[in-house]
Amino acid sequence: MRLSHIKDLNPFLGSFLYIIGGEIAIYVGMELLKSESKDITDEDITENIKESIRDTDIDFEPDDSEILKLNTVRKTLYKLYSEKLAQFRRIRDKSTGWFIYYWWHEFDLLEEILLEKKSLNEGKLRDRLQFEQNNYFFICKNCQESNIKYNFDEAFELNFRCPKCGSPLEAQDNQGIIIFLKNKIALIQDIKMSID
């Protein structure tokens, strides 16, 4: 296992990150955890990971000479964001005019479950599952930069067509977290049954 140096990461959180975005998502997750006290930019995450894999054979960009691209980290962060596991704020750099994105993780609910800090709370999981199932959004992949999300009712009213360009609206994928929550609920039911 190449990930031995990140053994401190909760294995369940690690597996979930891996399911969402592969091995790089684990590294990104680790960086978000490390900078809990201070939001971190995607540039700094990229540099930190590059530093941590410099003397290994790990290469996230096998097709070229780079070992990790900023774009790969950004894509991974957006995957975590769409699973509601990360959030960002952005500010405009006054000298360059570019936006700088600051990121932080939202692993708390997962960690709470996974670290079993509190008793396993099935109701909470069911609430979250219901939220995820009721609050999935539809987007137009053609106009994605506009970042407009439609909830189910709105998308339905629009006949699942983008009002701007007419392309079909597609459901934003939160299946990962829905499956994860269902598995956790099933696991708790198993535990309960074996205790009973």
Q: Report the interface residues with Zn ion, using CB under 5 A.
A: 140, 142-143, 162, 164-165, 167
User: Would you say 2 or 168 has its CB closer to Zn ion?
Assistant: 168
User: Would you say 47 or 154 has its CB closer to Zn ion?
Assistant: 154
User: Would you say 113 or 162 has its CB closer to Zn ion?
Assistant: 162
Beta carbon of residue 105, minimum distance to Zn ion (angstroms, whole number): 31
User: Would you say 3 or 143 has its CB closer to Zn ion?
Assistant: 143
Beta carbon of residue 154, minimum distance to Zn ion (angstroms, whole number): 14
Beta carbon of residue 88, minimum distance to Zn ion (angstroms, whole number): 23
DSSP string, the chain: -TTGGGTTS-HHHHHHHHHHH-HHHHHHHHHHHHTTTS-EEHHHHHHHHHHHHTTSS--S-TTSS-S--HHHHHHHHHHHHHTTSEEEEEEE-TTT--EEEEEEE--HHHHHHHTTSS---HHHHHHHHHHHHH---EE-GGGGGG---B-HHHHHHTTTB-TTT-PBPEE---HHHHHHHHHHHHHHHHHHHHH-
The distance of Cα 114 from the centroid of its chain, to the nearest Å, equals 16
- Closest residue to Zn ion, based on beta-carbon distance: 162
How many Å apart are CA 59 and CA 64, to the nearest integer?
A: 9
Beta carbon of residue 163, minimum distance to Zn ion (angstroms, whole number): 8
Beta carbon of residue 155, minimum distance to Zn ion (angstroms, whole number): 12
How many Å apart are CA 69 and CA 176, to the nearest integer?
A: 25
User: Would you say 47 or 170 has its CB closer to Zn ion?
Assistant: 170
Beta carbon of residue 139, minimum distance to Zn ion (angstroms, whole number): 9
User: Would you say 32 or 140 has its CB closer to Zn ion?
Assistant: 140
